[in-house]
């Protein structure tokens, strides 16, 4: 007769196992296709520095391989910065100056290949902290769970 692993575990170990399962389901979510932040700061002020979630690329970009971010501003004054983020098939990084309407504009284009890689730097720092927290919590729980499991097996 086979006994369930949760029956063999002590209550603390059962709690740890449930907690780990829930945590891992959050961490290991998968999405088909690439997910990028998609916005323009003219329409969405948070596009420049805010926490906008990455969403799956759709429409003409549903098979996009890269996310992009562009920044453009008027060169002499430094005012009028516009940021746009989205999905693309082009992998490139460059900065250019253009003359538009009698004013020079500075424009930088950057593309990357991972989900959400075109987020605001502030958002990326928060995400890195979250990953470190999750991994640390998982490790601590695994060590606790492993000790409880070994005591059951003895």
* Residue 15 covered by a domain: no
* Residue 6 covered by a domain: no
3-class state of residue 1 by DSSP: coil
Q: Given strand 82-88, what is the order of strands in its sheet?
A: 39-40, 82-88, 66-74, 103-112, 93-100
* Residue 133 covered by a domain: yes
User: What is the gyration radius of the CA atoms in the chain, in angstroms?
Assistant: 23
Give the span between the Cα atoms of 68 and 114, in whole angstroms.
Answer: 10
CA 141 to chain centre: 24
Q: Which of 18-22, 102-106, 148-152 ranks highest by mean pLDDT?
A: 102-106
3-class state of residue 76 by DSSP: coil
Per-residue pLDDT of 88-130, as tens digits, reads 999 999 999 988 888 888 999 999 999 999 998 754 444 444 4
Selected residue with higher pLDDT from 8 and 72: 72
Q: How many domains does the chain have?
A: 1
* Residue 109 covered by a domain: yes
Per-residue pLDDT of 2-13, as tens digits, reads 454 445 545 555
Residue 126 is predicted with a pLDDT of: 43
Residue 69 has pLDDT above 60, yes or no: yes
* Residue 5 covered by a domain: no
Selected residue with higher pLDDT from 50 and 4: 50
Give the span between the Cα atoms of 43 and 135, in whole angstroms.
Answer: 36
* Residue 85 covered by a domain: yes
* Residue 106 covered by a domain: yes
DSSP one-letter code for 128: H
Selected residue with higher pLDDT from 77 and 16: 77
- CATH number at 73 reads 2.10.60.10
* Residue 60 covered by a domain: yes
Domain of 47 in residue numbering reads as: 35-138
Its pTM stands at 0.56
Selected residue with higher pLDDT from 134 and 43: 43
3-class state of residue 83 by DSSP: strand
């Amino acid at each position: 007769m086979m006994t369930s692993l949760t029956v063999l575990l002590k209550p603390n170990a059962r709690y740890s196992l449930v907690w780990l399962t829930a945590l891992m389901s959050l961490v290991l979510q998968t999405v088909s296709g690439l997910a990028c932040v998609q916005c323009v700061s003219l329409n969405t002020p948070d596009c420049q520095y805010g926490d906008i979630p990455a969403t799956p690329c759709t429409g003409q970009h549903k098979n996009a391989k890269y996310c992009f971010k562009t920044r453009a501003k008027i060169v002499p004054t430094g005012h009028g910065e516009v940021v746009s983020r989205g999905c693309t098939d082009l992998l490139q990084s460059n900065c250019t100056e253009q003359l538009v309407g009698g004013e020079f504009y500075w424009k930088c284009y950057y593309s990357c290949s991972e989900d959400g890689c075109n987020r605001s730097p502030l958002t990326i720092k928060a995400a890195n902290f979250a990953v470190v927290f999750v991994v640390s919590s998982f490790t601590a729980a695994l060590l606790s769970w492993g000790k409880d499991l070994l005591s059951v097996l003895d």
